[in-house]
C-alpha cells in the first residue's frame, strides 16, 4: 500500500461518493490545500464522469429554472445564498484566493447566518450592534458602498484561524478566533499592513478569548483599512516588545465586502 | 444535447455573466443533470433543491472551468453529483429499499447507450469495468449511479464494510491500471 495508491483510492472514493460526510469534508479540505490531490480528484471526475452517459435523462419540472432565476436576481428565500455565492465569486476574482473559497464561504456562511438569522446566538459584545439587522436588508437591497467588511485570516483554505469583521462607518472591528490554538506563554498580535505605511501597524492582541470586540481603527482612513492586509503573528506574552512583528506571521488575509454593492451583482 | 464545443462556448459566455447563454446551457443540460441527481436522491423535492444549487454554482464558477482538464458535461455532472451526495450523506431518511436494480452495464446482450453519447473514453472505461469481477463491477456502478455509501453497499452485498472497502480499493486500482493513466 503506497501513499500514491492511498491518495488515488481516496480521490476515487470521493468521486464515487462512497465516503461518509466527514470523510468527504476531509477530502475536500485536502483538495483545497493540495494541488496534487486536487488533480487526482479531477482525473477521477473525468474518468468516472463518462458514466453519466449511461444515466437516463429526466426532464425536470419547469419551476426549477424559475427558482434559479429568482435566486440569481437575489429575490426570494435564496437571496442570502446568492449573496454568499456572489461574494465567493468576487473574492476569487479580486484576491486570487482561488481554491480557498469553499472553506472561506463555509466560514462566512456560518458567521453571516448566525448574525443574520440568530443574532441572539452572537456574543453579547456583538449583539447590541444594530448593523446586524441592517445586513439582512442591505443584502436584499444593496447599498452603494459597503460598511461592513470581513477578512478571513488563514494559512491555507483548510484552516481559517481568525475572522476580522470591520465596521467602516464606526471604524471598529471585532476579531473572532476560529481555529487558532492558545499557546502558553505566547500572544497573538494583529497587524495592519498597508502600502501607506513603511511598517506594519499593531492593532493589538487577539485570541485570548473567542471574540475580541470593539477594537479601534480610528487612526486609519477608511480607504486604508479597506485595502489593507491583516496579519497575525505569534509574539511573546503581552505582545511584541519592539512595536514590529518579531515572531512568525501565521495567518493573513484581506478584507472583502460582507455586503455586495449593487453594481457588482450578476 | 449540444456538442462539447458548444457547451464550452456557453460556459465561457456564462463566466462573463451572459444570462441568455446561461438559459441555453440550462436547457441543454437540465435533463441530464436532473436524471443524475434524481437517481441518487430518489425524491423530486430534494432533486429540485440540488438542481438550484448546482446551477447557481455553475453560474458562479463557470470562469473556473478549464476545457483542457474536463469535458463541460462531466464537469457539470461532477458538481451536481457532489451536491447530491453531500445531501444524502447529511440525511438519514433516504431509504435504499426503493432503489431499483442498477442498470446492467457492459453486458453483451444490450448496449444501453445512445450511440451519440458513447465517447471513446467511455468505451475504454466500460472495457476496463468489464474486466472486473461482476460483483466488483456492480459495486462501482451502484456507488456511482445511486450514490451509495460503503455501509449501504455492505447491506446490499451482505458483506462487512471492511470487505467493501477492500473491494472498492482493488477495483479502483484495477481500473486505474487498466486505463493506464
Region B152-169 average pLDDT: 94
Q: Please determine, for residue A173, whether its predicted confidence score (pLDDT) is greater than 50.
A: yes
Q: Give residue A107's pLDDT.
A: 55
Position with higher pLDDT, A264 vs A189: A189
Q: Give residue A159's pLDDT.
A: 67
Shortest Cα–Cα distance, A9 to chain B (Å)? 6
Region A144-171 average pLDDT: 72
Q: Please determine, for residue A134, whether its predicted confidence score (pLDDT) is greater than 90.
A: no
Nearest CA in chain A to B119: A50
Nearest CA in chain A to B22: A69
Q: Please determine, for residue A131, whether its predicted confidence score (pLDDT) is greater than 50.
A: no
Q: Give residue B47's pLDDT.
A: 95
Region A134-142 average pLDDT: 33
The candidate with the shortest Cα–Cα distance to A114, out of A122, A105, A124, is A122
Nearest CA in chain B to A266: B17
Residues A67 and A120: beta-carbon distance below 8 Å: no
Q: Which of B23, B89, B118, B148 is best to mutate for the A interface (most A CBs within 10 A)?
A: B89
The partner residues of A152 in beta bridges, in order of sequence, read: A163
Position with higher pLDDT, A100 vs A238: A238
Position with higher pLDDT, A116 vs B131: B131
C-alpha cell at B134: 461482476
Q: Confidence class of residue A266 from pLDDT cuts 50, 70 and 90?
A: very low
The HSE-up count of residue A13 (CA atoms within 13 Å, CB side) is 27
Residues A53 and B117: beta-carbon distance below 8 Å: yes
Q: Please determine, for residue A113, whether its predicted confidence score (pLDDT) is greater than 50.
A: no
Q: Please determine, for residue B140, whether its predicted confidence score (pLDDT) is greater than 60.
A: yes
Position with higher pLDDT, A243 vs B50: B50
CB contact under 8 A, B168 and A88: no
Nearest CA in chain A to B86: A21
Neighbours of A180 (CB within 10 A): 18
Lowest mean pLDDT: which of A103-107, A194-198, A226-230? Answer: A103-107
Range 74-103 of B in CB contact (< 8 A) with A: 74-75, 77-78, 81, 85-86, 89-90, 103
Q: Give residue B63's pLDDT.
A: 92
Contacts of A225 (CB under 8 A, 6+ apart): A149, A166, A168, A171, A192, A217, A255
User: What does the alpha-carbon distance between residue A115 and residue A102 come to, in Å, rounded to a whole number?
Assistant: 20
Position with higher pLDDT, A152 vs B45: B45
Q: Please determine, for residue A179, whether its predicted confidence score (pLDDT) is greater than 80.
A: no
Q: Which residues of A touch B56 (CB under 8 A)?
A: 68, 71-72, 78, 81-82, 85
User: Model confidence over B64-103: pLDDT tens digits?
Assistant: 999 988 899 999 999 999 999 999 998 866 555 544 444 4
Lowest mean pLDDT: which of A66-80, A175-189, B39-53, B115-129? Answer: A66-80
Of B17, B39, B86, the CB nearest to A55: B39
Q: Give residue B86's pLDDT.
A: 94
Contacts of B166 (CB under 8 A, 6+ apart): none
Shortest Cα–Cα distance, A82 to chain B (Å)? 8
The HSE-up count of residue A260 (CA atoms within 13 Å, CB side) is 22
Phi, psi of A258 (to 5 degrees): -80, -20
Lowest mean pLDDT: which of A93-97, A101-105, A129-133, B23-27? Answer: A129-133
Q: Give residue A104's pLDDT.
A: 53
The candidate with the shortest Cα–Cα distance to B17, out of A203, A260, A263, is A263
User: What does the alpha-carbon distance between residue A181 and residue A184 come to, in Å, rounded to a whole number?
Assistant: 10
User: Model confidence over B109-135: pLDDT tens digits?
Assistant: 334 444 445 578 888 898 999 999 998
The partner residues of A186 in beta bridges, in order of sequence, read: A236
Q: Please determine, for residue A78, whether its predicted confidence score (pLDDT) is greater than 60.
A: no
Q: Please determine, for residue A87, whether its predicted confidence score (pLDDT) is greater than 70.
A: no
Cα separation values, B63 from A3, A42, A122, B10, B165, Å: 33, 16, 36, 11, 36
Q: Please determine, for residue B161, whether its predicted confidence score (pLDDT) is greater than 80.
A: yes
Instruction: Sort B181 into a burial class: Cβ within 10 Å, 0-12 / 13-18 / 19+.
Output: exposed
The HSE-up count of residue A111 (CA atoms within 13 Å, CB side) is 26
Lowest mean pLDDT: which of A37-51, A161-175, B124-138? Answer: A161-175
A182-191, A202-211, B7-16 — which one is most confidently predicted on average? B7-16
C-alpha cell at B49: 433543491
Region A226-230 average pLDDT: 82
Cα separation values, A58 from A106, A141, B31, B35, B101, Å: 31, 36, 5, 5, 18
- Reported ipTM: 0.89
Q: Which of A58, A85, A105 is best to mutate for the B interface (most B CBs within 10 A)?
A: A58
User: What does the alpha-carbon distance between residue A216 and residue B179 come to, in Å, rounded to a whole number?
Assistant: 60
Shortest Cα–Cα distance, A194 to chain B (Å)? 30
Q: Give residue B35's pLDDT.
A: 94
User: Any idea which residue has 447590541 for its cell?
Assistant: A128
CB contact under 8 A, A13 and B26: no
Q: Is the torsion defined by CA of B40, B46, B49, B53 positive or negative?
A: negative
Q: Give residue B97's pLDDT.
A: 52
Q: Confidence class of residue A116 from pLDDT cuts 50, 70 and 90?
A: very low
H/E/C letters for each residue in chain A?
CCHHHHHHHHHHHHHHCCCCHHHHHHHHHHHHHCHHHHHHHHHHHHHHHHHHHHCCCCCCCCHHHHHHHHHHHCCCCCHHHHHHHHHHHHHHHHHCCHHHHHHHHHHHHHHHHHHHHCHHHCCCCCCCCCHHHHHHHHHHCCCCCCCEEEEEEECCCCCEEEEEEEECCCCEEEEEECCCCCCCCEEEEEEEECCCCCCCEEEEEECCCCEEEEEECCCCCHHHHHHCEEEEEEEECCCCCCCCCCCCEEEEEECEECCCCHHHCC
When the pLDDT of each residue in chain A is averaged and rounded to a whole number, the result is 72
Q: Give residue A10's pLDDT.
A: 95
Q: Please determine, for residue A59, whether its predicted confidence score (pLDDT) is greater than 80.
A: yes
Position with higher pLDDT, B106 vs A186: A186
Q: Which residues of A touch B119 (CB under 8 A)?
A: 50, 53
Of A46, A56, A85, the CB nearest to B74: A46
Amino acid at each position: 500500500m503506497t501513499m500514491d495508491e492511498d491518495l488515488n483510492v481516496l480521490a476515487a472514493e470521493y468521486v464515487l461518493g462512497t465516503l461518509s460526510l466527514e470523510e468527504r469534508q476531509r477530502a475536500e479540505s485536502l483538495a483545497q490545500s493540495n494541488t496534487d490531490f486536487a488533480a487526482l480528484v479531477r482525473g477521477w471526475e473525468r474518468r468516472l464522469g463518462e458514466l453519466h452517459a449511461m444515466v437516463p435523462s429526466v426532464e425536470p419540472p419547469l419551476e426549477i429554472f424559475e427558482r434559479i432565476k429568482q435566486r440569481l436576481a437575489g429575490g426570494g428565500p435564496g437571496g442570502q445564498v446568492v449573496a454568499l455565492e456572489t461574494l465567493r465569486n468576487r473574492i476569487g476574482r479580486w484576491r486570487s484566493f482561488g481554491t480557498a473559497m469553499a472553506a472561506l464561504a463555509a466560514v462566512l456562511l456560518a458567521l453571516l447566518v448566525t448574525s443574520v438569522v440568530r443574532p441572539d446566538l452572537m456574543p453579547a459584545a456583538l449583539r447590541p450592534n444594530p448593523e446586524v439587522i441592517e445586513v439582512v436588508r442591505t443584502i436584499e437591497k444593496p447599498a452603494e458602498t459597503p460598511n461592513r467588511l470581513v477578512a478571513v485570516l488563514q494559512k491555507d483554505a483548510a484552516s481559517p484561524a481568525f475572522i476580522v469583521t470591520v465596521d467602516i462607518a464606526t471604524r471598529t472591528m471585532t476579531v473572532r478566533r476560529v481555529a487558532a490554538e492558545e499557546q502558553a506563554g505566547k500572544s497573538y498580535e494583529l497587524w495592519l499592513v498597508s502600502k501607506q505605511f513603511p511598517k506594519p501597524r499593531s492593532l493589538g492582541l487577539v485570541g485570548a478569548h473567542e471574540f475580541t470586540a470593539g477594537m479601534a481603527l480610528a487612526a486609519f482612513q477608511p480607504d486604508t483599512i479597506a485595502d489593507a492586509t491583516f496579519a497575525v503573528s505569534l509574539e511573546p506574552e503581552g505582545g511584541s516588545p519592539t512595536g514590529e512583528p518579531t515572531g512568525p506571521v501565521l495567518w493573513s488575509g484581506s478584507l472583502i465586502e460582507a455586503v455586495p454593492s449593487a453594481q457588482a451583482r450578476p | 444535447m449540444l456538442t462539447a464545443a458548444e457547451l464550452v462556448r456557453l460556459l465561457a459566455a456564462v463566466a462573463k455573466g451572459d444570462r441568455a447563454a446561461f438559459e441555453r446551457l440550462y436547457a441543454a443540460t437540465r435533463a441530464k443533470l436532473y436524471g443524475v441527481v434524481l437517481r441518487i436522491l430518489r425524491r423530486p423535492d430534494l432533486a429540485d433543491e440540488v438542481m438550484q444549487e448546482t446551477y447557481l454554482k455553475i453560474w458562479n464558477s463557470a470562469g473556473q472551468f478549464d476545457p483542457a482538464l474536463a469535458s463541460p458535461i462531466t464537469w457539470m455532472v461532477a458538481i451536481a453529483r457532489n451536491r447530491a451526495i453531500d445531501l444524502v450523506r447529511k440525511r438519514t431518511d433516504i431509504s435504499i429499499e426503493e432503489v431499483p436494480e442498477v442498470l446492467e452495464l457492459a453486458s453483451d446482450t444490450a448496449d444501453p447507450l445512445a450511440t451519440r453519447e458513447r465517447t471513446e473514453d467511455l468505451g475504454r472505461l466500460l472495457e476496463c469495468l468489464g474486466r472486473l469481477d461482476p460483483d466488483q463491477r456492480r459495486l462501482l456502478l451502484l456507488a456511482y449511479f445511486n450514490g451509495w455509501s460503503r455501509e449501504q453497499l455492505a447491506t446490499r452485498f451482505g458483506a462487512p464494510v471492511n470487505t467493501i472497502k477492500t473491494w472498492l480499493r482493488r477495483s479502483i486500482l484495477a481500473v486505474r491500471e487498466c486505463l493506464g493513466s
